[in-house]
Amino acid sequence: MAIITDSRTGPASRTRRPLTLDSMVRSALVVLFVVLMVVFILGPLLWLGVRAFAGNWTFPNLLPDDWTLRWWQVVINDGALGVAVQNSLFFAPLTVLVSAIICLPAAYAFARFDFPGRRFFLISLFATNAFPKMGLFVTLAALFYALNLMNTVLGILVVHVLGTVVFMTWIPAAAFAAVPRNLEEAARDAGASKLRVFASVTLPMALPGIIVAAVMSFLASFDEAQGTYLVGAPAFMTMPTQMYSLVLNYPTQVAAVFSILLAIPSVALMLAAHKHILGGQLAEGFQIK
Amino acid sequence: MTIHEPLTEPPASTTEPGAAAGGGLTIRGLHKILGGRTIIDNLDLSVNEGELVSLLGPSGCGKTTTLRMIAGFLEPDAGSIEVEGQEVSHLGAENRPSAMVFQNYALWPHMTVAKNIGFPLKLRKMSKAEINDRVETVLELVSLLHHKDSKPARISGGEQQRVALARALVQEPKLLLLDEPLSNLDAKLRVKVREDIRKIQQELGITTVIVTHDQEEAMSMSDRIAVMNAGRIEQYSTPEALYARPETEFVATFIGSMNRVEGSLNNGLISAGGDILGIRPEDVILHDVPFDGALPATVERVVPRGHFQEVYLRRADAQLRSFVTGELMQPGQQTYAEIRKAMTFRDGRLVAESGAAR
């Protein structure tokens, strides 16, 4: 991001115009912006990375006093971690699947049919994100106690799916809506049934959008902590909820190690999706309308 | 001067029911209301087997709506559509014996050229080998065999157009529908592609309906043209007849160029009156010297058009445009303009034609 900002407003404008006060102020602002971005985005990550290998780290020193791999051992030898990883890897894909089954038909309906209350329903999907999460989960917990869903797989699944509904509906809806109608009509004209048109034309063309939604849902589920903790702990600990107890019960270094571990699947998934969508043949689908 | 009765009946050969009984397309009483507006108003049309007919008209005249109803994307409110004697208006687009070429080609971007063309055959459960054979045959017909495995985004607009045509032809449709097939091509390519389409259509003898707003395109390709306006067919005849004998003022204005003057023509002189005179620019003849039937005129503006020039003239009785070949004229130049032929329209319909007496 820093590079894009710099090259767009920086050198290009500087070579064309003489150095006026105005343009100097502008480049100064750009530099300031870039520095702030670096400090606030990369800074904490850098700190985290260093922290995970730090032994003692006394206050004014810029680097730790000594380095160690001890904290990695602590985390890896902790039996709870393995369970947490397993739980996370169980809930995240399941959440994506359930969310897709529930939300994709809705997304298609939002994109293709004009029904009464369409806009209302579309906007109201944001409702779950509009309120403070914790308040929502407390009410949810009350309901779950009544339905005997506390500490159950189903209960956690409901919490996770709730958090993905917005992505899984809005992004695929936009993707479905972007499929030109006459491409579907051409398939009808060629002799395809409505179902076949969907399978052969609409779905493949909307796939990049659906993959993006699936990745975001996966990450949302993977990172969900509050609701999972409330509904699942202590029976079901996922990686983020496990981190809560690590932060509370161990030195900060352990939390640093664990958050790096937690980030690995997310980063890997993002990179894979990025490569698949921008580098793959699906990207070609977007060049033609 | 010849006076005709108002031409209320269309020529017998055109819309008589049963004219295309053996094959082709017959539309009777087609009606469509969209959003409270009558888009298609009781339309009849019959296309003979192997004939190429254009639906020509300005945007919003209902020509595309008509085509979409023939293709099955839109349900008519009333009327019947028969293809080769079979009533199809109750069938979905996937079950009709017609194939359509869309204005923007509507090629599936995620499939290769061969996959695009093979898709209709795959739906018909043909074997892979047979699909491949047919796809190659039709690709050869549109000379695109070398782009068999290209994605649509990788080939030019003209090539995409031919792929779309190939995808329609491979279905061996009883009726080929083309929606503004050339509107996305540049001028030079348009001439070539329209000749290609016409050649292939005649070779295969496919009954074809083309929607277009381009009169030149319609004139150069069609056996017959149905000029549409406000949901009705104004006139349905051959390109030559359409130009030489427009039945309505709309057709006269829409097809070719026309001087539209209020008044009536007496001995080559326009006198004020209630009727509308339609004079083709090529029927305004210029003479260098005084001439029997010609009036003095001043050249006001000259627009060079390549092999001819469009000359704007002021005569004592009217302002006229004339198409002139030869030496470029100059504004302000004096000349003598003779009106050789004029059509008289009353209430929008042709009531009289006056030719020069000579």
Q: What is the CATH number of the domain that holds B328?
A: 2.40.50.140
Residues from chain B that touch A285, judged by Cβ atoms under 8 A, are 109-110
Q: A190–B167: do the CB atoms touch at under 8 Å?
A: yes
Domain range for B157: 7-247
Note whether residue A157 is domain-resident.
Answer: yes
Q: Per the CB < 8 Å rule, is A188 touching B72?
A: yes
CA distance A23 to A139: 54
Q: Which domain holds residue A222?
A: 78-287
Q: For position B355, what pLDDT does the model report? A: 63
Pairwise CB contact (< 8 Å): A190 & B72: no
Q: Do A289 and B104 touch (CB under 8 A)?
A: yes
Residues B174 and B233 both lie in one domain: yes
Pair (A8, A150) in one structural domain = no
CB B93 to CB A200 under 8 A?
no
Q: Is residue B2 part of a domain?
A: no
* Residue A98 pLDDT: 97
Interface contact flag, B102 A191, Cβ < 8 Å? no
Which residue of B lies nearest to A193 if distances are taken between CA atoms?
B94
CA atoms within 13 A on the CB side of A100: 18
Considering A67-71, A205-209, A249-253, B48-52, the range whose residues carry the highest mean pLDDT is B48-52
**Average pLDDT over every residue of A265-277:** 77
Q: What is the count of residue pairs from A and B with beta carbons less than 8 Å apart?
A: 78
Residues B66 and B197 in one domain: yes
pLDDT of B18 reads 42
* Shared domain check, A97 and A153: yes
In a domain, A278, yes or no: yes
**pLDDT for A60-85, tens place per residue?**
888 888 888 888 888 888 788 888 88
Is the domain of A40 the same as that of A134?
no
pLDDT tops 50 at residue B331: yes
pLDDT confidence of residue A285: 43
Q: Name the residue among A180, A196, A285 with its Cβ closest to that of B123.
A: A196
Do residue B283 and residue B231 come from a single domain? Answer: no
A121 domain residue, yes or no: yes
Please tell me whether residues A194 and A273 are part of one structural domain: yes
Whether residues A31 and A143 share a domain: the answer is no
* The predicted structure's pLDDT at residue B22: 60
Six token digits for residue B106? 């509507």
What is the Cα–Cα distance from B106 to A185, expressed in whole angstroms? 8
Name the domain count of chain A.
Answer: 2
Residues A43 and A83 in one domain: no
Residue B73's closest chain A neighbor by CA? A185
Q: Are residues B195 and B340 in the same domain?
A: no
Residues of chain B neighbouring A183 (CB-CB closer than 8 A): 106-109
Q: What is the number of domains present in chain B?
A: 2
Name the domain boundary from B247, B278, B295.
Answer: B247
Residues B334 and B212 in one domain: no
Same domain for A99 and A178, yes or no, is yes
> Residues B321, B182: one domain?
no
What is the Cα–Cα distance from B239 to A215, expressed in whole angstroms?
A: 59
A155 is a domain residue: yes
In a domain, A72, yes or no: no
Chain A interface, best mutation among B108, B171, B174, B177, by max A CB count within 10 A: B108
Give the residue with greater pLDDT, B287 vs B4. B287
pLDDT at A173 over 50: yes
Burial label for B2, CB within 10 Å (0-12, 13-18, 19+), is exposed
Judge if B173 and B289 occupy the same domain: no
- Regarding whether A195 and A152 lie in a shared domain, the answer is yes
**Nearest C-alpha neighbor of B275 from the set B358, B354, B356, B355:** B354
By mean pLDDT, which of A103-112, A194-203, B345-354 is the weakest?
Answer: B345-354
Closest by CA to B243, choosing from B194, B275, B283, is B283
Confidence of residue A17 (pLDDT cuts 50, 70, 90): low
Between A24 and B358, the more confident residue is A24
Q: Sorting pLDDT into bands at 50, 70 and 90, what band is A284?
A: very low
Mean pLDDT on B322-328: 89
> Does B94 contact A201 at a Cβ distance shorter than 8 Å?
no
Compute chain B's Rg from CA coordinates: 24
Write the pLDDT tens digit of every residue in B169-204. 999 999 999 999 888 888 888 898 899 999 999 999
Q: Does residue B339 fall inside a structural domain?
A: yes
Same structural domain for residues B205 and B338? no
Interchain pair B106, A185: CB under 8 A: yes
What was the pLDDT predicted at A200? 94
By C-alpha distance, which of B174, B218, B224, B225 is closest to B197?
B218
| Predicted pLDDT at B186 | 87
Question: How would residue A277 be classed by pLDDT, with cut points 50, 70 and 90?
Answer: low
Same domain, B66 and B188: yes
Residue B229: CATH number of its domain:
3.40.50.300
pLDDT at A11: 46
Inside any domain, residue A99: yes
Nearest chain B residue to A181 by CA: give it.
B106
Q: Is residue A220 part of a domain?
A: yes
Assign residue A274 the CATH number of its domain. 1.10.3720.10
Summary mean pLDDT of chain A:
83
pLDDT of B285 strictly over 50:
yes
- B229 and B279 both lie in a single domain: no
Flag whether residue A112 sits within 8 Å of chain B, measured between CB atoms: no
Average pLDDT over residues A224-238: 86
pLDDT digits (tens, 9 = 90+) for A21-33: 888 899 999 999 9
> Averaged over B227-246, what is the pLDDT?
93
- With an 8 Å Cβ cutoff, is A192 touching chain B? yes
B269 shares a domain with B229: no
Residues A235 and A114 in one domain: yes
Mean residue pLDDT of chain B comes to 88
B75 CB burial (10 A radius; 0-12, 13-18, 19+): exposed
Residues A169, A30 share a domain: no
Query: Among B182, B214, B247, where does a domain finish?
Result: B247
Per DSSP, A183 falls in state: H
3-state SS of A101-132 is HHHHHHHHHHHHCCCCCHHHHHHHCCHHHHCC
Q: How much is the pLDDT for A58?
A: 80
Q: What is the DSSP letter of B104?
A: T
Whether residues B70 and B199 share a domain: the answer is: yes
Residue A196 is assigned to a structural domain of this protein: yes
Residue where a domain stops, chosen among B215, B247, B279: B247
Whether B252 is in a domain gets the answer: no
In terms of CA atoms, which chain A residue is nearest residue B109?
A: A285
B187 vs B94, more confident:
B94
Predicted confidence band of residue A1 (pLDDT cuts 50, 70, 90): very low
Indicate yes or no: CB of B108 within 8 angstroms of CB of A281.
no
Q: Is residue B19 very low, low, confident or very high in pLDDT (cuts 50, 70, 90)?
A: very low
Amino acid at B251: V
Does A277 reach chain B within 8 Å, measured CB to CB? no
Give per-residue pLDDT as tens, B269-280.
Answer: 888 877 899 999
- Write out pLDDT tens, residues A244-267: 877 788 888 888 888 888 888 888
Element (H, E) at A161: helix A153-177
Q: Do B119 and A188 touch (CB under 8 A)?
A: no
Is the CB of A206 inside 8 Å of chain B's CB atoms?
A: no
